[in-house]
C-alpha cells in the first residue's frame, strides 16, 4: 500500500470540484481557481470555506485552461465505473471488467449485552457507514481514471488490475477521506500453512476477522458474500508475472458502548467503524483455491493481511454529505442513499 502523491491529490481535488460545480450548474472552473483553493485548503483547518477565492485571471483571458474540456467524456467514464460496481461480479467478469469486492455493513450493533439500545440511532449510524463507504468507492474510481485511464482487461491483466484497485481502495480512505475518518497504522499478519481446500474459507474468516467481535452467524453471512465474489473469478487466469494478488475488503460495523458502565442504567453510544482488510495472497494459492479444475485436496495457503480500523467522524461527514449527494445525483441519477443501498451488502443475524 502506498500513499498519494501531491500531483495525484491535486488531480482528485480538481475532478471533485469540477463535478461538484457541474452539479450546481455553475460555470466552468479554471485551473488557477482550483490551485488557489487547494493552496488555501492546505494551509488552513479542514472547516475553512475557500469558495470565495477567485482566480486573478480575467474571465475574458483566453490563455487560461478550462477544466471542462472533455468533461462530458470524463463524467461518462466515471458514471460507467460507478454503475459497473452495482452489477453482480459475474456480470462484470463476463463483460471483461474487473469487479471490486462490494463493501459490507453488519447491520447489528456489535457489543456485549446490547439489549435496550436505541434502534433508530443504530439504523442512522448504519446508513452513515453505507454512505461513507460509497464515497470511498467514488474516490477509488476517480483515482482509477487517473492512474489507468484505459481501464483493465480482466482476461489479460487480472492480477495487475486487482492489485491496483486494492491499493487505490486504501488510498481513497487514507487520502481524500482522511478528514472524515480517524485511523492509525494497520496491523499486519502473515500466514503460511497447508490445509484442506474445503477449509480455506473458514481459515480466512477466522484470521481476518479476529478481534472484531463477530459471531458465527455474521461470519456465515460474510462468507456468503466473499464466496459469490470468488465464484465469479474461477475462470480467470492470473498472469505469471505476478506472484501475488491483492484485494481490499471494506467491512462496516457499529460497535455499541455503554457509556455509563452501569448495566441497569445503560446509555448506548455508537461508534461507526469501517475495517479495511488488505489481503495479499500468493497467486498460485489463490488460483488453486478458486479454480473448479483444481483436483488437489490440500492447498498451501500463503497470504498476509493488514487490518486498518477507520472510525467515522460523523459530524465531519455530515458537513460534507450535501456536496457528495449532489455529485452522486449528477453522475448517476441517484442520490447518495439510493446508490449506497445498492452498493453495500447488508449482513444481519
**Average pLDDT of each block of 10 consecutive residues along the chain (349 residues)?**
61 69 59 48 42 36 34 79 95 92 84 61 86 95 88 87 92 88 86 85 80 78 85 81 86 81 76 91 84 73 90 93 91 94 89
What are the residue boundaries of the structural domains of the chain, listed by start? 6-69, 81-347
Residue 334 burial (CB count, 10 A) = 19
pLDDT at res. 228: 87
| Separation in Å, CA 46 to CA 36, 42, 188, 252 | 15, 8, 30, 24
pLDDT at res. 72: 54
pLDDT at res. 99: 93
Q: Quick check: helix, strand or coil at residue 25?
A: coil
* Residue 27, Cβ density class (10 Å: 0-12 exposed, 13-18 middle, ≥19 buried): exposed
* Residue 65, Cβ density class (10 Å: 0-12 exposed, 13-18 middle, ≥19 buried): exposed
Secondary structure letter of residue 88 according to DSSP: -
Strands of the chain (E only): list them. 104-110, 181-183, 187-196, 244-258, 268-270, 273-282, 298-312, 345-347
180 vs 126: CA distance, rounded Å? 16
Q: Quick check: helix, strand or coil at residue 123?
A: helix
Tell me the pTM: 0.79
Amino acid at each position: 500500500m502506498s500513499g498519494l502523491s501531491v500531483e495525484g491529490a491535486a488531480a482528485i481535488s480538481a475532478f471533485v470540484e469540477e463535478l461538484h460545480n457541474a452539479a450546481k450548474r455553475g460555470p466552468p472552473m479554471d485551473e488557477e481557481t482550483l490551485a488557489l483553493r487547494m493552496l488555501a485548503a492546505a494551509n488552513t483547518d479542514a472547516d475553512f470555506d475557500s469558495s470565495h477565492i477567485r482566480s486573478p485571471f480575467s474571465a475574458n483571458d483566453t490563455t487560461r485552461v478550462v477544466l471542462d474540456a472533455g468533461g462530458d467524456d470524463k463524467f461518462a467514464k466515471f458514471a460507467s465505473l460507478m454503475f459497473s460496481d452495482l452489477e453482480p461480479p459475474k456480470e462484470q467478469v463476463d463483460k471483461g471488467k474487473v469487479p471490486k469486492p462490494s463493501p459490507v455493513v453488519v447491520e447489528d450493533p456489535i457489543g456485549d449485552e446490547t439489549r435496550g439500545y436505541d434502534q433508530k440511532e443504530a439504523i442512522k449510524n448504519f446508513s452513515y457507514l453505507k454512505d461513507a463507504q460509497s464515497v470511498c468507492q467514488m474516490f477509488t474510481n476517480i483515482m482509477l481514471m487517473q492512474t489507468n485511464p484505459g481501464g483493465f482487461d480482466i482476461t489479460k491483466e487480472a492480477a495487475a488490475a486487482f492489485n491496483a484497485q486494492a491499493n487505490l481502495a486504501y488510498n481513497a480512505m487514507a487520502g481524500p477521506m482522511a478528514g472524515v475518518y480517524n485511523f492509525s497504522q494497520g496491523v499486519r499478519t502473515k500466514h503460511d500453512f497447508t490445509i484442506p481446500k474445503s477449509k480455506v474459507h473458514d481459515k480466512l474468516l477466522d484470521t481476518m476477522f479476529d478481534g472484531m467481535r463477530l459471531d458465527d452467524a455474521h461470519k456465515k453471512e460474510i462468507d456468503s458474500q466473499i464466496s459469490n465474489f470468488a465464484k465469479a473469478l474461477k475462470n480467470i487466469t492470473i498472469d505469471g508475472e505476478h506472484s501475488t494478488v491483492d484485494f481490499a475488503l471494506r467491512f462496516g460495523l457499529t460497535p455499541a458502548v455503554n457509556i455509563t458502565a452501569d448495566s441497569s442504567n445503560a446509555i448506548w453510544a455508537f461508534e461507526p467503524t469501517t475495517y479495511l482488510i488488505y489481503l495479499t495472497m500468493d497467486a498460485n494459492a489463490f488460483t488453486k483455491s478458486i479454480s473448479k479444475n483444481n483436483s488437489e485436496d490440500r492447498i498451501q495457503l500463503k497470504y498476509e493481511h493488514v487490518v486498518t480500523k477507520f472510525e467515522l467522524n460523523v459530524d465531519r461527514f455530515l458537513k460534507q454529505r450535501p456536496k457528495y449527494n449532489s455529485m452522486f445525483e449528477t453522475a448517476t441519477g441517484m442520490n447518495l442513499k439510493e446508490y449506497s443501498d445498492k452498493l453495500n451488502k447488508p449482513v444481519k443475524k
